[in-house]
């Protein structure tokens, strides 16, 4: 995944430690009629500080609040696993389709 960002897709959230964290909104997927944002931490992964956002995509539930969207942490392991499995399946299918085109 590229580290380039589009400023229109930059999301800033506050983590559980009160730190402001910037993400690039990579995609929005829908699973069981619920929308989830796929967020890529702009800061990148630092192995010396694994507790910080890393070089991975974060999945968060999207909740509409008037005109705004709120990104919520997925607390339920079963819900998270279902969404992560869906994202993995779609990604694998897209990669397979790209390889067939080559």
pLDDT digits (tens, 9 = 90+) for 42-97: 865 454 555 554 567 889 999 988 888 888 989 999 999 999 999 999 888 888 88
Per-residue confidence (pLDDT) for residue 1, from 0 to 100: 32
Mean pLDDT score, 16-25? 83
Per-residue confidence (pLDDT) for residue 54, from 0 to 100: 53
Tokens in use for 11? 């999301």
- Provide the pLDDT confidence category of residue 2 given band limits of 50, 70 and 90: very low
pTM: 0.73
* Per-residue pLDDT tens over the stretch 80-90: 999 999 999 98
CA angle 36, 42, 65 (to 5 degrees): 35
Closest among 57, 48, 75, 51 to 11, alpha carbons compared? 57
């Amino acid at each position: 995944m590229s580290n380039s960002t589009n400023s229109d897709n930059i999301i800033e959230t506050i983590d559980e430690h009160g730190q402001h964290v910037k993400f690039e909104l990579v995609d929005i997927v829908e699973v069981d009629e619920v929308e989830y944002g796929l967020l890529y931490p702009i800061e990148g992964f630092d192995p010396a500080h694994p507790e910080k956002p890393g070089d991975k995509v974060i999945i968060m539930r999207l909740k509409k609040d008037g005109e705004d969207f709120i990104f919520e942490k997925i607390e339920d392991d079963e819900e998270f696993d279902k969404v992560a499995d869906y994202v993995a399946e779609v990604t694998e299918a897209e990669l397979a389709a790209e390889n067939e085109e080559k």
